[in-house]
Structure 1
């Protein structure tokens, strides 16, 4: 087996996270992939991946090798696909990876123009709250605040999301209203994340305290569900500007500086000239003239 084929199998197990998933993607037996990577390790005299029950994990040497060859590999893969598809039917799908909040509140109302222009293109939308490396996914576009492989992508700012604190009147009646940020340590707080590793920007700024991170009473990785939890009186929550803070909800600490989270349109550098992706970006930055208002009611 040639070095190039062994390198291909190594790259695919990194991208898919396991021998079995990469074998399925390559349409070969799992034993073929396992043997190829094992032989590559023997020839190099180095261990490239750790075999875990849950999949594989790169060693430091494996990481160095992957970073050294991935860009060339993707270039070759792109050129081969271009030759393969030349003169044949164009692609029929486009995959976007983003967060649940961005998808439901911002992205969905803006897809109509693109779908009208490309009625035969299937848009595949996937949400995530994890770190994302585009080179390790099959996504064409990421609409996110951050990405794990910034040197290999093109980023264009799409929007800034303002995050304010809010709580229901019933919560304030029971627990009182905080007057300063220091008062938050005596309250029930709702958050997106479990740690200070803020993959989606500084959304949980209200947890930051001079003594460290405050412990949230409720952690929900969904903007809509956080809004709903605040309405139900579960605690003080970070609310995006797309949600109306009115009715039973009141803004908390309105004099505190608003937190802004920038969200970007992110594509692999090698796809910079892709007309379909460029048209998607253009359609998303066009102003829309209808506004969708989210209404959540309970019995």
Structure 2
């Protein structure tokens, strides 16, 4: 099968338009159309339905696009490995993690990584959806549970506790709750039970809700929960890694800690020798060691 035709087919399928694909490939629309026609003839199959708004893949086209997408990801991996320098760290590294961890812990520390490797480009993707690392949706993942995908190198980084926090200003106004039953005198700030979150946090929130909080503020990520707590709005359910950077937070009801949540770093086996991945992995591990040491000094672990 002609590689050039497959490359052009992939661009057309991805763009949904002969014109847009031609712009990407620096080819005329007629040249792109001829290549697609030739590919269809060689396969004796129709790959696109043509209509006024663009192109839609046929069933046969979908099968071929799945194959070219896999090929494209593999080529990207090979290209990344070739570009990795033994003497330096540069180029793009796509990192995925949860919105809470990425916003509250990782992003504030990236300045140190860029100081070490100024030519590195980080594409930080913050979402609860687990991206497919073997299919190169990302290069590295930091997740709140052990990855289940095959062919991944995984490293347990740390354990997170979900705890109850309030600001000193809020406690000064309302006083300390001594028992979980006293949550009925306070506003609870937490992630909605409909939001994607770690299981232990959900269990804690459900337990608190049985004691009828006086008021409730739900947010779909921990960054929003943190902002509510910092504004003296109530008692929030938050991961313990936020307290190092926000000394105004105080823990309340310490006996209501949850089970520990494991945090894992993972990347595809084929990126084992990537200098960029190694640099990022070592940076995160060093930052966690520093983080834990500082938390011990503060008496928070």
Same fold by TM-score greater than 0.5? yes
Deviation of residue 155 (structure 1)?
2.0
Deviation of residue 225 (structure 1)?
3.0
Deviation of residue 278 (structure 1)?
1.0
Correspondences of 1:272-287 after superposition (within 5 Å): 272-286=272-286, 287=289
SS at match of 2:161: strand
| 2:202 aligned residue (182, 186, 204) | 204
What do residues 203-227 of structure 1 show as CA deviations (whole Å, max 9, x unaligned)? Answer: 3332335999x99943324434312
Correspondences of 1:254-293 after superposition (within 5 Å): 254-286=254-286, 287-288=289-290
SS at match of 2:280: helix
Q: Is the 8 A contact 1:188 1:236 kept in 2?
A: yes
Q: Is the 8 A contact 1:203 1:261 kept in 2?
A: no
Distance 1:243 1:80, change over 3 A: closer
Match of 2:129 in 1: 130
Q: Is the 8 A contact 2:146 2:263 kept in 1?
A: no
State the alpha-carbon separation in 1 of the partners of residues 236 and 22 from structure 2. Answer: 43
Q: Which runs of 5+ in 2 are unaligned?
A: 48-52, 296-301
Match of 1:229 in 2: 228
Q: Which runs of 5+ in 1 are unaligned?
A: 48-52, 293-299
Q: Is the 8 A contact 1:132 1:148 kept in 2?
A: no
State the alpha-carbon separation in 2 of the partners of residues 233 and 248 from structure 1. Answer: 10
Match of 1:93 in 2: 92
Equivalent pairs, count:
274
- The structure number with the bigger radius of gyration is 2
Distance 1:201 1:271, change over 3 A: farther
SS at match of 2:200: coil
State the alpha-carbon separation in 2 of the partners of residues 25 and 147 from structure 1. Answer: 42
Deviation of residue 251 (structure 1)?
0.8
State the alpha-carbon separation in 1 of the partners of residues 99 and 260 from structure 2. Answer: 18
Distance 1:276 1:77, change over 3 A: closer
Query: RMSD of the alignment, in Å?
Result: 5.6
